Chains A and B, each alone.
Chain A
């Protein structure tokens, strides 16, 4: 009886460990995907801001005042998106 109970406990533990391992692996993969997504978004935002900066410099050199404010606003929007990614779009902390 005792042996049977122990076997069953072992079986449960093994099953639990396997499930926990699968869950952890899935979680790790999910975290990696989120980090990759953050990186990709930040790179895209940086490229857009580089373009905006070059357009701003060109507008300044040409003396096109009317183009300056929209360009600065566009750059600010990009920076705010980057800030939100930096502060909030993070993978959740692991609790196990």
Chain B
């Protein structure tokens, strides 16, 4: 009896590729099984872990490559008219797209009547910033970051760099976005 048991254990340990056939004697004695019995051997689990490792590597490479491609291919800056900016009251803001349709930006008319425009993506983790009229600053709601509404400099919170400032100018009573001024440690896109 002991020898049979030892043999079965040895079979199970040595033949992991087919657990069901290795444990056949137990199944005969205890013939209950689920309709779709799920057994994972160490060999299968190792294969799964290797596939996971491959997927994680591909994920990292693809994510990084996306940023690298984006940083090398800067879109050409074409001046754009910001529609609706002329009607903006002091202490109000509107969103617009610059330099491409996928890049959201925010135009703020400060209390002093001047216009300031910034890239809307927070330099911490790309959350959109909004203009807080009460505090007269740009705030990121995700991780409590704050930016100066006149310069885009970081006032507090986790953002590592100032917001890229969009240069605006007035032409015939309309506000135009004409360029982007980036500040920071030189590691930005």
Which residues does A use to contact B, with CB under 8 Å? 24-25, 28, 31-32, 35-36, 38-39, 42-43, 45-46, 49-50, 52-53, 56-69, 71-72, 75-76, 78-79, 82-83, 85-86, 94
- State the majority secondary structure of interface residues on A: helix
Bound complex: CA of A65 vs CA of B186, how far in Å?
A: 10
Bound complex: CA of A29 vs CA of B61, how far in Å?
A: 39
Residues in A with CB closer than 8 Å to B123 are 62-63
A21 to chain B, nearest CB (A): 9
Q: Does B189 contact A (CB under 8 A)?
A: yes
Do the beta carbons of A71 and B188 come within 8 Å of each other?
no
Interface stretch of the complex, out of B29-37, B50-58, B75-83:
B50-58
Beyond A49-B57, A62-B123, A79-B54, whether A43 also contacts B49 by CB under 8 A is yes
Bound complex: CA of A65 vs CA of B66, how far in Å?
A: 11
Do the beta carbons of B60 and A71 come within 8 Å of each other?
yes
